[in-house]
Structure formats: structure tokens, C-alpha cells
Chains A and B, each alone.
Chain A
Amino acid sequence: MSAAYRFTPFELPPETVALRAEVRAFVQEEARQWNGWQIGHSWTGFDRELSRKLGERGWIGMTWPKQYGGHERSAMERYVVLEELLAAGAPVGAHWVADRQSGPLIMRLGTEAQKAKYLPAICRGEAAFCIGLSEPDAGSDLASLRSKAERVDGGWLLNGRKVWTTYAQDCDVMIGLFRTGFSEEHGKHKGLSQFLIDLKTPGIEINPIKDLTGESHFNEIVFDNVMLAEDALMGVENGGWAQANAELAFERSGPDRYLSSFPLLPLALAKLGESVDDPSIARDIGAMVAELTVLRQMSLSIQNQLENGETPLQEAAITKLLGTGLEQRMPGLIADIVEAQPLRRAGDTLSEALAYLIQVEPSFSLRGGTNEIMKMIIARGMGL
């Protein structure tokens, strides 16, 4: 039996119009200080000051209850804020992960004490989270991870190694997935648990890994007899795999899965001007805009289903696969269309943004699950 997906057009409610205008005006003002290289970073740009300002305006943790610092607004209002920030390439990395998945996870499964401790700080833009999943020997095959958390007197003892953890060197808290049960007994997916880990805890060593741009955004983290309190366990012991998986429909379907290269497009249009006599340029631009339009509709459709308590994992995998494909093609295509040289510090925003994005776009179809993993998920859903 083949899959029947649920993709239903969803129109943003009218109350989002004023909010959008407000966010857009704020972002335009902030954008004056960003150069093209920074804009290229989009949601991997780390700027605590911007996150604090967004927190002040009530644009982090928007949908969460007021008692935890949230603002009880709709998922669609949140969506509008996210897409306005991403369209401008705002450096939202200092709160992105917390707002997108760590916060919702704590809200869903956290204890009262955990909620009170972390959620208000996230909403203020003051608690930066990272996700500790991959290990040196566990990448796409995540369930084979080996870092251990042992139950000991007074809490948990962590040992092992995480890798490719984005901005761990700048973050406050990690939600890490560790082995708590023996794989033979539980099956390798079952003996895993999630922990809330203060990255200042003794025994944690964070080693930044320089990437091909010359910057260090990801890290290796060594856990050497790290002692955590009893209440560092997140959710259910040995239930970490299912918990981490439930986040994925959120993680894979947002506007950050198709807008990472978007800021290039208005810059390119400005450079081209209105008199373009090469029809192939019009076609390339029309094709990109058509794809963006469809991806935005898919993403909105999924948000709407998530809001209604559904978990459209297949649809999210499709949206991520198509979305990252587009954001991956855009830098090269746009560089060709405008005949721009990708140059850092060119004084030209487009050249600078291209310089960053051309180098990092290979990561778009890796982060959040590779293309190959997405295709595996889709094929399984199709009954293959």
C-alpha cells in the first residue's frame, strides 16, 4: 500500500498581519548591523543580545503557558515570527534550539521543577540549549550510541563522548541522549534516556571543532565521570528514543528547513534590477519562487496538524528532503545568475552571503537527519 499524505492548504489567520509588520520593522532595524557573511549564517548565527531583545518582545516561547514565561499565542503566530527572522538571515542561533525543540520537550515531559527552572529563562532569551545526539561511532545509526549514564547514589554518573554538537561551546544546557539500559536486554532503541545537562558541570570538556569555513560551530564534548543530580533525567528512564523521535516532526518541518539560503534571493533581485533580457534567468527565479511557495504551504500544513496533536512524520520527512534540496541549490544557482564572486569582506552583502552559504550548504542535507535517512523513512511509509 502506498502512502496517502495529508497536505492541506492552510491560510494564516488575519491576526498575524499586525504581528508580521511589527517583527518585520524590528528586523529591518536590526539588520543594519549585519554583514553578508553574518546573514549567511541564518539560524546558526549566535547572538545572545538579539535573543534577549526578542525575548523582551515576547517572541520566544510564544505558545507556552504564561506561568512559565510564555505568551500563550498560537503556533501560527509563532510561525510568522520565525519566517520573518529567517527571511532576513537574523542570527537567532542562541535561542533557536530551545524554542524549537528543547522547550517543547520540557513542557511535554518535564517535571514541575524542570519547567520552572528552564522555561522562563528560555523565554527571556537567556538559556541557550544544544542537543547531544551524535557520537564518534553513532551518526545516522544513532541508536548504537554508547555514552553511558549510570544510576548511582544521589543521581547519575555520565561517561562518554558526544560530537558535532552545535554551539556547545557557547550554550548553557544540553539535552543529551545516553545509554541507561543494556542493549541486549532492552533492544538498542530501548535502553536510552535523555538528560538535562548544565554544561558548566565539572568533568565536561568541550573542544570546538574548526569547520571548513575556518569557524568553529560544532564541538566534541567529553564526559568524564560527570555527576548529575537525580532530577537531571528528562521524561522516562529508557524512553529517550521515543521522546527524541517525537521532536522530529517539529524539527524537520519548520521554515528553517527551506529558508536557510533565502536571504540571497532578494539581494540577487536587487542586483539584477527590472530589466533582465535573459529568459533563463526569469525561469530560474520563477522556479525558485514556485518551490519556496510549495514548501511554505507544506510546512504550514504540517504546523497545523502538529497544532491539532497529530505527528505527521512522513510529511515532515518529505518537506525536509525537498526543502533542504532547494536551500542547497540556491547559493550556486544565484551565484551563476548574478555572476557574483563569493568573497568574504567584499563590502558587498550578496558576495559575502554567497561566500558563507556556498561553503556550508553541504551541511543542510546532513543536519536534522540526512537525505538518505529521510528517504528511508519515506520508503518505509510507502510500504516498501
Chain B
Amino acid sequence: MNEMNIAELLADQLEKLLSARVNAESLAILEAGGADLSLWQEIEEMGVADVMRTGADDAGLGWQDCAELFRVLGRHAAPLPLAETLFARRLMSQANLDIPEGPLALIDPSANADIQLDATGCLQGEAAMVSWASWATQLLGLARRGDEAFLFSVAASDVAARLEKCDSLERAPTSAVDFSGITPLAVVAMSDASQIRSGLAVMRALMISGACDKVVELAVDYANTRKQFGKPIGKFQALQHQLAEASCRAAAAEMAGKYACRELDNNQFLAGAAVAKYTASVAAKDVSRIGHQVFGAIGITDEHELHYYTRRLWQWRAEAGNERYWSEQLGNKILAAGSEQLWSSLTA
């Protein structure tokens, strides 16, 4: 069996599992602080959380192979840190670190996380928002010392008392974490630390694209069934045009995410991630707006499932750099390279 087949098979299995197990009720339980660890156990038994590990005995799937997995997670607003764990296990395997049992948390370096590694080997500083910190067995992040960057891992037990719960828009378990004075389990120098920021951005972009597809799907179903003025509201051109626009945005986010995966697989970290997260963040904003417009008041209620997806779209848009952040990064790169390089870089 070739690699693409493994990846497609896993995405399909994951799709089936999440379709059967995740719904408004299970999401409500998660958001109320409950944890369905049995679902995580099933995920582990599938082996899907390990497929991006890159050791000699590992599947070693790349970003392109796994694009659909991340999209499936987004489409179902998956109530578990599989995306984070996939990427974190990849980073740990690349750094030859021992990978612990259980889910992992990844600290987003672009979101108010200024963590230093001091001369004694202790961490100093805090991260304002770490998703799934309370579920993780270890937390992975980036620390700086002067111009150097280090990947560090911290045992959950060492920071358990320092987790300060915060309510993100997603309402998944999220905490502020103060790392000051903690000695990491492992510290590894990174020659190019930008891959963490870029990997997180592409991961979120793909999840946004999945969630956008879901919102468009829900809105189309609703427009075809809800009747006003004697006909389904989806027969009104004003609505058709809005939904067509939403569909365009979702398609662009998918294309951008998949393109960025290829860039990451080629060790090109900035441009692809910038394109993906810019495009997906714009899509997140537009698709959620149009989704709510189509649903009207019922879409604003707690009872309706729409908000499980739109709140995540708003959350993920802001995480790992929003469209302003990434367009500025990309724009600065283009400006620095100069006019002569523009077309060659677009067609490279």
C-alpha cells in the first residue's frame, strides 16, 4: 500500500469515527468542561496520531498526505487535540525526543508567548493562551536565548498548578501558563524555528477550510428547507449569491491550505503558510458572516449547532496569526526581495 492510500484511508476512518461520535451534545459536554477520553483512546488505537512522526520505523507522512486529516478535524470541530498532537509528535521525532503517551499541547509562538531560556536552563515567561494544556501529558513550545531558538518540552505535572483556565471563543480546554522557573524535560536548538509558527498556521488554515465547508453545507441545507414567502429561501437570488460567495471563500481556503502543505513538505516555511493562513482567515470571517445571515435568528441560539463551527472559525482566524499578520509578513518579504523578483517568486 502506498503512502497516499494510507493517508486517504485514515482520513476516511477518521471521518466515519467523528461523524458517529461528535455532535452538538458531545461538543456541549466538552465546552462545559467534560472530557470524553474514550474518544481519544479510540483515536490512539487507530494509530492516526502517530502518522506524522519521522523516525525510521514511522509512517512519516508529510503535510500533503495529512491535509485531509486536518480538514476532517475542522469539519467536525473535533473535541480533542489530535491536530496539535500530530504536529507535536512530528516535531519531537524530528528532534529525537522521547514521545510520551497521551495528547500534547503546542504553544503558539505568535500569540503573546514570550518565553526565554535563561543561563541556568530554566524557562522564564508565560504563554497567554495554550489550547488543550489541561489534557496534555507534555507541553511543547519555543524558547529564546539571545538570537537562538530552542524547542522545549515541559511535563504537564510540572505546570499543573500553574494552569490558569481561560475561556476562548472555542471553549475547548485552554489555559494561560506561567513557565517561569520551570526546568524543561528537554531542550533542543532549532536552526529554523519558523517551522513551528508556519506549521501551526497551516494546520489552523486546513481546519478553517474544513469548518467553512461544514458551515456552507449547513447553510445550503437550511436554505433549501426553510420557507418564507411561500418558497424555500434558497430560491431567492440574494441568498444564492451570498452562498456562492461563501462557497468561493471555502474553496480558496482549501486550495491555499493544500498549496501550503506542499511548501512545508519542501521546507519552504514562510510564503506558503502566509498564503494559507491569510486566505483561510479571510474565509473564516466571510463564511461565518454569511452562514449566520442565512440562518437568521435561529443560528444565533445556543440550541442550534451552527455556533460550534462559527465560534471555532473566529477562534482559529485569530490563532497562529490572522490575515493582517500574515499579509504583512508576506508583503515585507516581497518588498525586501524587490520588483525584479516578484514574478519569478510567484512562478517558482
Contacts and interface: CB of A to CB of B under 8 A. Distances in A.
A322 B220 CA distance: 20
A289 B334 contact: yes
Interface string A200-234: 00000000000000000000000000000000000
A294 B240 CA distance: 24
B89 to A, nearest CB: 25
Contacts of B87: none
Most interface-central of B64, B255, B258 (chain A CB within 10 A): B255
Contact of A269 (B220, B261, B275, B334): B334
B338 interface: yes
B57 to A, nearest CB: 29
Pick the 8 closest A-B CB pairs, nearest first.
A286-B331, A282-B331, A286-B330, A286-B327, A379-B240, A269-B339, A378-B244, A270-B339
B331 to A, nearest CB: 3
Given A269-B338, A290-B278, 13 more contacts: A2-B216, A2-B247, A7-B254, A8-B258, A269-B334, A270-B338, A276-B335, A281-B331, A293-B275, A294-B256, A379-B241, A382-B244, A384-B243
A267 B64 CA distance: 35
6 contacts: A8-B258, A290-B278, A294-B256, A318-B251, A382-B220, A383-B220
B28 interface: no
Interface in A125-164: none
A379 B338 CA distance: 41
B243 A379 contact: yes
B112 interface: no
A384 B328 contact: no
B324 interface: yes
A32 interface: no
B291 interface: no
B244 A282 contact: no
A272 B261 CA distance: 32
A236 interface: no
Interface of A: 1-3, 5, 7-9, 11, 20, 80, 83, 87, 265-267, 269-270, 272, 274, 276, 279, 281-287, 289-294, 296-298, 301, 315, 318, 321-322, 372, 374-376, 378-379, 382-384
Contacts of B275: 289-290, 293-294
Interface centre among A83, A284, A297, A384 (most CB of B within 10 A): A384
Interface in B16-71: 64
B224 A283 contact: no
Given A2-B216, A9-B262, A265-B342, A375 B240 contact: yes
B225 to A, nearest CB: 12
Contacts of B347: 20, 80, 83, 296
B338 A274 contact: yes
B279 interface: yes
Residue from A80, A279, A293, A372 whose CB has the most chain B CB atoms within 10 Å: A293
B323 A318 contact: no
A5 B323 CA distance: 24
Nearest to B345: A289
B346 interface: yes
Contacts, number: 154
A384 B224 contact: yes
A274 B334 CA distance: 9
Contact of B346 (A287, A292, A383): A292
A3 B251 CA distance: 10
A355 to B, nearest CB: 20
A282 B247 contact: no
Given A8-B258, A286-B274, A384 B217 contact: no
B300 interface: no
Contacts of A318: 247-248, 251
Interface in B201-245: 213, 216-217, 220-221, 223-224, 234-235, 237, 239-241, 243-245
A3 B244 CA distance: 10
B155 interface: no
Given A318-B251, A375-B244, A384-B240, A282 B332 contact: yes
Nearest to A284: B331
A370 B338 CA distance: 35
A266 B248 contact: no
Given A282-B327, A372-B241, A266 B339 contact: yes
Contacts of A83: 347
B328 A286 contact: yes
A178 to B, nearest CB: 30
B251 A7 contact: yes
A301 B255 CA distance: 9
Given A290-B279, A384-B240, A5 B254 contact: yes
Contacts of A9: 64, 255, 258-259, 261-262
A275 to B, nearest CB: 9
A225 B204 CA distance: 64
B274 to A, nearest CB: 6
Contacts of B255: 7, 9, 294, 297-298, 301
A292 B256 CA distance: 11
Contacts of A289: 275, 330-331, 334, 342, 346
B326 interface: yes
Contact of B339 (A8, A11, A20, A267): A267
B334 A375 contact: no
B335 A274 contact: yes
B247 A3 contact: yes
A173 B306 CA distance: 55
A285 B243 contact: no
B346 A293 contact: yes
A179 B94 CA distance: 67
Most chain B beta-carbon neighbours within 10 Å: one of A20, A281, A289, A290: A290
Contacts of B346: 289, 292-293, 296
Contacts of A293: 256, 259, 271, 275, 346
B161 interface: no
A2 B234 CA distance: 12
Contacts of B220: 1-2, 382-384
Interface in B255-311: 255-256, 258-259, 261-262, 271, 274-275, 278-279
Contacts of B329: 286
B248 A322 contact: yes
Contacts of B245: 375
Nearest to B221: A2
**Which of B64, B251, B326 is most buried by chain A, counting CB atoms within 10 A of its CB?**
B251
Contact of B248 (A265, A281, A282, A378): A378
Given A293-B275, A375-B241, A375-B244, A279 B217 contact: no
